Amino acid sequence: MNNPRRKTIDKIIASLDDIKSEVTGVGEEEQEYRDNAPENMMYSEKYERAEEVAQILEEISDEIYEIVIRLEEVKEAT
């Protein structure tokens, strides 16, 4: 792999790192919302949905991390 393509991959990795941070932040906000919900909401659909959304966002963040790792591997392999 030549230097221009490595630089392009580095830019992609940087962009993905930014996106991962944003996704993680939104997930943490959703988790905080759920954690601070009043007791009378703990069995509501909104509470359950907030929990589900926080979990999905965490999974997405993990998947983005895996993509970054694979891109690093590709960059180093050549």
The tens digit of pLDDT for each residue in 35-69 reads 998 888 888 898 899 999 999 999 999 999 999 99
CA angle, 14 then 15 then 17, to 5°? 65
pLDDT > 90: percent of the chain? 78
Tell me which residue range forms the domain holding 49: 3-77
Compute the chain's Rg from CA coordinates: 18
What's the mean per-residue pLDDT of the chain? 94
Q: What local confidence, expressed as pLDDT, does residue 53 receive?
A: 96
Count of structural domains within the chain: 1
Of 65, 75, 78, the C-alpha closest to 27 is 65
Which residue type sits at 13?
I
**Residue whose tokens read 């180093």:** 76
